[in-house]
């Protein structure tokens, strides 16, 4: 399949863009629909690519089941989340936020090791789809991922792994124990969201020049993802994949959400690069 390209101009000036930060997105912010199999670019940089029905049925089924059984955290401190009952999880690798937590593996990764194992087929398919359709983007991400090397002296505190049988599952996150990436892909981290309507925000901390991959699962209506700078949006259905620039571009959801909507966002976090000399 040969993908077409489209250059898109912004519809917001900088003042309008700044005024939209951490505000609920409106339908106008994503009135135009992102067409599938079309790479949207601005000044030569890819902004979004929608691939319909790109995730396999088997992976979609396994991912949905894993997300339904996941122990989501209650609430979140992110300013972009407005709901009191918002649910999210971060799995994979991430620089510790709390000073008493020393692992680069997130706490849910250790506490629910089967979750990331069950999500790995999805991550691998995302990686392969970026490689296939955006090879230059994948090459850049791979070059950056190779810089996310673990210190030889780094030791993880596995006290959060309660079941002895889960130790092997934790080790399979990085079987060579050398990289902060998820088993050979160009992604380090997954954000898992349940029925969250995000205000317009930029991610800001992903590796520059890389793109995020977003999928949605469950039986739901609502949650259209919009990009206010360009006035485009997309309704993501299970098995769809949106590859997009969430780091530099405002993005948010339209509510309300009816039913149960899960989203998975895969990315390479900038805090994990150049840590070869890091020690706990």
| pLDDT, tens only, 29-85 | 999 999 999 999 999 999 999 999 999 999 999 999 999 999 997 655 554 555 666
Average pLDDT over residues 97-126: 92
Q: Where are the beta strands (DSSP E) in the chain?
A: 4-7, 32-33, 38-42, 45-51, 73-74, 87-92, 189-194, 212-221, 225-227, 232-234, 241-244, 252-253, 258-267
Into how many domains does the chain fold?
A: 1
Whether residue 250 is contained in a domain is answered as yes
109-113, 216-220, 232-236, 262-266: least confidently modelled range: 109-113
Range of the domain at 104: 25-272
Angle at 197 between CA 193 and CA 202, to 5 degrees: 85
Whether residue 5 is contained in a domain is answered as no
The pLDDT assigned to 170 comes to: 83
Cα R_g (the chain), whole angstroms: 18
Q: Is the pTM of this model over 0.85?
A: yes
Whether residue 19 is contained in a domain is answered as no
Average pLDDT over residues 91-102: 88
- Tokens in use for 143? 């070059």
Spatial CB neighbours of 153, under 8 Å, sequence gap ≥ 6 = 279
Whether residue 41 is contained in a domain is answered as yes
CATH code of 248's domain:
3.60.130.30
Choice between 55 and 171, residue whose per-residue pLDDT is larger: 55
Whether residue 7 is contained in a domain is answered as no
Whether residue 105 is contained in a domain is answered as yes
Arithmetic mean of pLDDT over the chain: 91
Whether residue 277 is contained in a domain is answered as no
Whether residue 131 is contained in a domain is answered as yes
Q: Is pLDDT at 236 greater than 90 in this prediction?
A: yes
Hey, CA dihedral for 105, 260, 234, 17, is it positive or negative? negative
């Amino acid at each position: 399949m040969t993908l077409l390209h489209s250059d898109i101009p912004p519809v917001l000036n900088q003042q309008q863009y700044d005024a939209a930060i951490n505000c609920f997105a409106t339908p106008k912010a994503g009135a135009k629909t992102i067409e599938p199999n079309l790479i949207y670019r601005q000044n030569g940089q890819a902004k979004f690519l929608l691939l319909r029905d790109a995730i396999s049925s088997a992976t979609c089924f396994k991912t949905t089941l894993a997300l339904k059984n996941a122990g989501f955290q209650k609430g979140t401190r992110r300013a972009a989340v407005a709901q009191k009952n918002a649910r999210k999880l971060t799995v994979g690798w991430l620089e510790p936020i709390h000073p008493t937590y020393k692992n680069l593996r997130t706490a849910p990764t250790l506490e629910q090791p089967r979750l990331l194992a069950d999500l790995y087929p999805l991550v691998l398919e995302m990686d392969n789809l970026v490689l296939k359709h955006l090879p230059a983007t994948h090459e850049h991400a791979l070059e950056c991922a190779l810089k996310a090397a673990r210190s030889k002296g780094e030791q993880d505190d596995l006290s959060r792994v309660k079941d002895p049988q889960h130790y092997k599952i934790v080790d399979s996150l990085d079987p060579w124990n050398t990289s902060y990436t998820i088993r050979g892909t160009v992604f380090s981290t997954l954000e898992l969201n349940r029925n969250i309507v995000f205000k317009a925000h930029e991610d800001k901390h992903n590796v520059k020049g890389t793109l995020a991959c977003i999928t949605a699962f469950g039986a739901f209506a609502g949650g259209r993802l919009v990009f206010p700078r360009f006035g485009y949006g997309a309704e993501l259905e299970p098995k769809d994949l949106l590859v997009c620039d969430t780091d530099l571009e405002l993005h948010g959801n339209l509510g309300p959400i009816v039913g149960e909507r899960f989203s998975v966002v895969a990315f390479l976090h900038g805090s994990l690069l150049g840590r070869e000399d890091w020690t706990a």
